[in-house]
Structure 1
Amino acid sequence: MKNLFLIAKLDIKESTRSKWFFVYLLVFGGLMALFFVTGITDSVVMGFTGLSRLLLVYMQVTIVILPIFILITTVKSISGDRESAILEYMLSFPVSLKEYYWGKMLGRFFIVFFPVFLALVLGIVWGVFKGGELPWKMLFVYSGFLFSLCAAFLGIAFFISTIVKSHDVALGASFVVWITLLAFIDIALIGLMLANRWNDDLIIALSLLNPLEVFRVGAISLFDPELTVMGPVAYFLLDTFGHTMILFYAVLYPLVLGILFAMLGYYFFKKRDLL
């Protein structure tokens, strides 16, 4: 256990020294600062005001930017160490494969989750300073959404990083995964439904297997319990699951998906040729 935390600490130090981490901080911190400057907390759009409006815009940003940042910066975590012979060097110490793998994941999770959570907290603090009411429920539930989304794509990224040996192939695979999941939020599913006359229930079921779509539905239901912005689909979701179950599913499903991919990645990491 001690070695696991040492590996995590080493990965955190290595990440904070890299340029991509400062870009990561700048993107989310800078966007939140931009929201403050443009006065989003003072605007009224589609009935959303104050902190609700701020969090809604933040959700739209994270659903696009956060997954690709996690994927492109994490897929090189193990494949990059393998190519640069760092993996061989690390395994020359009394460190087990289990400690190395999960230590890297723990350190990387802190790096990808902390900046987005910090930006969220700063946004809440600013909104309260401007006279808004502190939305405890939104803060905790939306933090859970961010936590599970980070876990999902971190698990996917580590899985990709263990099954490919080339850094370039890992980056290409991460872009394919991101574009595919992003397209299947709306565009591809609507096209399949119109072209092939698929059953509506099947289309909705497929969409709820997409962690990005689950995050989107959960976040919208947090701000709009009636899901009015989603149209007729809202009736099916609310009648089938209910508002509370939607929130639980939006937190638990991406988290479980990330754990499964991480465990699958660890399985291949143990079985395949490490060097």
Structure 2
Amino acid sequence: MKNLFLIAYLDLKESIRANWFIVYSLVFGGMIALFFVAGVTQSQVMGFSGLSRLLLMYIQVTIVILPIFILISTVRSISGDRDTHILEYMLSFPISLKQYYWGKILGRFVTVFLPVFFAMIVATIYGVFIGASVPWNIFLLYTGLLFSLSSSFLGIAFFISSFVKTSEIALGVSFFIWIFLLAFIDIALISLMLQNRLDENLIITIALLNPMEIFRVAAISLFDPSLTVMGPVAFYILDNINQKLFVLLSILYPMILGLVFALLGFSIFSKKDLV
């Protein structure tokens, strides 16, 4: 256990020194600052105002940016160590493959989740300072959704990194997965599939298997329980599942998905040639 935390600490220090971490933190911190400058908390649109509207906008932007940042910054974690022979050097110490792999995951999770969470804390502190009402229930649920989404794509990234041979291939695969999943959160695409007389239950079920889509629907449902902005997808969801149960499922499902991919990645990593 000591070696696992040591690997996590080393990966954390390496990530903080990297340029991508600075850009990553500035992107999410800059979004919150931009929303403040634009006066988002002082405006009202479709009944959303104050911190509620700011959090809604933040989450909607995060759903696109967060997955690709996690993928491109994490997918080279193991493959990069293999390319630079750091992996061979690390395993020359009394460190097991399990400690190395899960230590890397733990350290990387801290670096990808904290900037996103910290930006939400800054927004909340600012809201308290200007006297706005803080939707604590939404804040806590969004924290759970962000934690879950981060876990999901972190597991996917380590799964990719466990079997690709070079960092370039790892980046290519990660971009393909991001674009593929992004396409399936487009309601227009779902509408096109519905026009082709495919079974609507099957189409929407496949769409909700996408962690980005289930995150998006859950985030919107916290502000708009009737999901009026989502058209036919909303009616299918509301007819088949309770809103609170759906939000709980939206937190648990991506976490389980990420864990499954992480376990598959470890299985591949522990069986293939390491160097």
Superposition TM-score, scaled by structure 1 size = 0.98
User: In structure 1, what is the Cα distance between the partners aligned to 2:215 and 2:110?
Assistant: 20
The aligned residue for residue 216 of structure 1 is 216
User: In structure 2, what is the Cα distance between the partners aligned to 1:219 and 1:158?
Assistant: 26
The aligned residue for residue 30 of structure 2 is 30
The aligned residue for residue 247 of structure 1 is 247
The aligned residue for residue 18 of structure 2 is 18
The aligned residue for residue 109 of structure 2 is 109
User: In structure 1, what is the Cα distance between the partners aligned to 2:13 and 2:233?
Assistant: 45
> How far 1:233 sits from its partner (Å)?
2.3
> How far 1:125 sits from its partner (Å)?
1.4
User: In structure 2, what is the Cα distance between the partners aligned to 1:157 and 1:233?
Assistant: 29
The aligned residue for residue 161 of structure 1 is 161
User: In structure 1, what is the Cα distance between the partners aligned to 2:75 and 2:136?
Assistant: 35
**What's the CA shift string for 1:118-148, capped at 9, x where partnerless?**
0011111112222211211111110000000
User: In structure 1, what is the Cα distance between the partners aligned to 2:162 and 2:8?
Assistant: 18
User: In structure 2, what is the Cα distance between the partners aligned to 1:127 and 1:236?
Assistant: 35
**What's the CA shift string for 1:226-269, capped at 9, x where partnerless?**
11111232222112111111110110111110000000000000
Q: Letter of the 2:251 partner, please give it.
A: V
User: In structure 1, what is the Cα distance between the partners aligned to 2:126 and 2:208?
Assistant: 34
Greater Cα shift, 104-113 or 44-53 = 44-53
User: In structure 2, what is the Cα distance between the partners aligned to 1:138 and 1:28?
Assistant: 19
The aligned residue for residue 193 of structure 1 is 194
User: In structure 2, what is the Cα distance between the partners aligned to 1:190 and 1:182?
Assistant: 15
Q: Letter of the 1:36 partner, please give it.
A: F
Alpha-carbon RMSD: 0.9
1:230-269 counterparts in 2 under 5 A?
230-269=230-269
Q: Letter of the 1:140 partner, please give it.
A: L
Q: Letter of the 1:100 partner, please give it.
A: Y
SS in 1 for 2:152: helix
Q: Letter of the 1:81 partner, please give it.
A: D
SS in 1 for 2:108: helix
The yes-or-no answer on 1:225 pairing with 2:225 is yes
The aligned residue for residue 144 of structure 2 is 144
1:64-79 counterparts in 2 under 5 A?
64-79=64-79
**What's the CA shift string for 1:182-217, capped at 9, x where partnerless?**
0011243333332x3111111110111000000000
The aligned residue for residue 90 of structure 1 is 90
Q: Letter of the 1:159 partner, please give it.
A: F
Q: Letter of the 1:267 partner, please give it.
A: S
User: In structure 1, what is the Cα distance between the partners aligned to 2:189 and 2:175?
Assistant: 17
User: In structure 1, what is the Cα distance between the partners aligned to 2:68 and 2:231?
Assistant: 28
SS in 2 for 1:247: helix
Q: Letter of the 2:189 partner, please give it.
A: A
SS in 2 for 1:197: coil
User: In structure 2, what is the Cα distance between the partners aligned to 1:50 and 1:197?
Assistant: 43
User: In structure 2, what is the Cα distance between the partners aligned to 1:180 and 1:246?
Assistant: 24
User: In structure 1, what is the Cα distance between the partners aligned to 2:192 and 2:233?
Assistant: 16
In the alignment, structure 1 segments of 5+ residues that lack a partner are none
User: In structure 2, what is the Cα distance between the partners aligned to 1:89 and 1:193?
Assistant: 54
Q: Letter of the 1:192 partner, please give it.
A: M
User: In structure 1, what is the Cα distance between the partners aligned to 2:226 and 2:97?
Assistant: 48
Greater Cα shift, 75-84 or 126-135 = 126-135
In the alignment, structure 2 segments of 5+ residues that lack a partner are none
User: In structure 1, what is the Cα distance between the partners aligned to 2:51 and 2:170?
Assistant: 38
Instruction: Give the number of equivalent residue pairs.
Output: 274
Greater Cα shift, 156-165 or 43-52 = 43-52
The aligned residue for residue 39 of structure 2 is 39
Superposition TM-score, scaled by structure 2 size = 0.98
